[in-house]
């Protein structure tokens, strides 16, 4: 179930650059009789500069796919490439470096280190790497997330939406090849959620950032360029230029298929 190299939404006909490629990915937990296969041979290309959503019912393997693609989890079989780097063959130490230098993360909750203030949290990956931030870029990111007056606050003093925006800024500030977002709006009210999604959208549009987001919310998924649907460890279909209605329809039909 590979995706064709379709023309990207900006309409140019040049072959799109692939930011990440997952091929024949199999992930099995446990062994013997108790083994559970979460991914049963998934292949997926993440196009650079695109905002991709991964959707699917609970247990479909969407989170596992993201964790494997982001180098957070090991794979049983298959390949995960990030740019030119084959993640499955990397040692723990190099994998850490890849995450640090090439990948940004936004999790559903608990994204920030409680002892560090917003600014320190944003600069954490750079600081860990011992790199100096690009001041101009940093300023641009800060003004885009709109948190300039909250930089000295600790996470405990920020609202949920503000916390997620800090997390987005952290993911963005090191200019990673790709950002993985795991249900970034799952814990937010709709207004805050829209703020965060708007910010992610803008990063893609204005900065050409590649983002992969796992979500079960059709509203959130409708902010993306492409929605990939997973069911039972396999990619079943995908939508381009999705709307909430089309996403819902697709989900319903998938549910019917699963139940049927």
As a whole number of angstroms, the distance between CA 84 and CA 70 comes to: 14
Bridge-based pairing of strands 18-29 and 36-47 is: antiparallel
- Per CB under 8 A, does 30 bind another protein? no
- Per CB under 8 A, does 11 bind another protein? no
Bridge-based pairing of strands 226-231 and 51-55 is: parallel
Cβ atoms within 10 A of the Cβ of 205, count?
Answer: 13
Between 67 and 226, CB nearer to another protein = 67
Per-residue interface string for the shown chain with another protein, residues 129-148, x marking contact by CB under 8 A: xx------------------
Which one among 101, 133, 232, 244 touches another protein, defined by CB under 8 A? 101
- Per CB under 8 A, does 97 bind another protein? yes
Closest separation in Å from C-beta 156 to another protein: 10
As a whole number of angstroms, the distance between CA 133 and CA 162 comes to: 21
Which one among 23, 48, 90, 124 touches another protein, defined by CB under 8 A? 124
- Per CB under 8 A, does 90 bind another protein? no
Write the burial class of residue 83 (CB in 10 Å: 0-12 exposed, 13-18 middle, 19+ buried).
middle
Q: Crossing angle, helix 160-173 and helix 135-145, to 10 degrees?
A: 150
Per-residue interface string for the shown chain with another protein, residues 152-191, x marking contact by CB under 8 A: ------------------x---------------------
The one-character DSSP state at 26 is E
As a whole number of angstroms, the distance between CA 101 and CA 89 comes to: 17
Count, residues near another protein per rule CB under 8 A: 29
- Per CB under 8 A, does 26 bind another protein? no
- Per CB under 8 A, does 111 bind another protein? yes
Residue 80 bridge partners (DSSP): 22
Q: Phi and psi of 210, rounded to 5°?
A: -95, 130
Closest separation in Å from C-beta 73 to another protein: 5
- Per CB under 8 A, does 96 bind another protein? yes
Query: Which 58-87 positions form the footprint of another protein (CB under 8 A)?
Result: 63, 67, 72-73
* Interface stretch with another protein, choices 9-17, 46-54, 120-128, 207-215 (CB under 8 A): 120-128
Alpha helices in 27-134 (DSSP H): 62-69, 92-102, 118-122, 124-129
């Amino acid at each position: 179930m590979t995706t064709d190299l379709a023309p990207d939404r900006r309409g140019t006909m040049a072959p799109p650059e692939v930011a990440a490629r997952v091929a024949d990915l199999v992930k099995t937990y446990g062994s013997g009789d108790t083994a559970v296969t979460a991914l049963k041979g998934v292949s997926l290309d993440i196009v650079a500069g695109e905002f991709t959503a991964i959707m699917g019912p609970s247990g479909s393997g969407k989170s596992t796919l993201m964790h494997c693609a982001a180098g957070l989890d090991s794979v049983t079989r298959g390949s995960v490439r990030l740019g030119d780097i084959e993640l499955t063959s990397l040692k723990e130490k190099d994998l850490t470096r890849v995450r640090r230098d090439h990948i940004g993360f936004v999790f559903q909750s608990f994204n920030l280190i409680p002892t560090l203030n917003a600014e320190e949290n944003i600069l954490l990956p750079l600081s860990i790497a011992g790199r100096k931030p690009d001041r101009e870029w940093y300023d641009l990111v800060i003004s885009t997330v709109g948190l300039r007056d909250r930089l000295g606050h600790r996470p405990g003093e920020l609202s949920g939406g503000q916390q997620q925006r800090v997390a987005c800024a952290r993911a963005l500030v090191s200019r990673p090849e790709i950002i993985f977002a795991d249900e970034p709006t799952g814990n937010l009210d709709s207004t805050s959620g829209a703020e965060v999604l708007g910010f992610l959208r803008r990063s893609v549009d204005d900065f050409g950032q590649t983002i992969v987001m796992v979500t079960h919310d059709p509203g959130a998924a409708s902010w993306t360029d492409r929605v990939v649907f997973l069911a039972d460890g396999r990619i079943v279909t995908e939508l381009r230029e999705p709307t909430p209605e089309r996403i819902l329809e697709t989900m319903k039909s998938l549910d019917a298929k699963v139940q049927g």
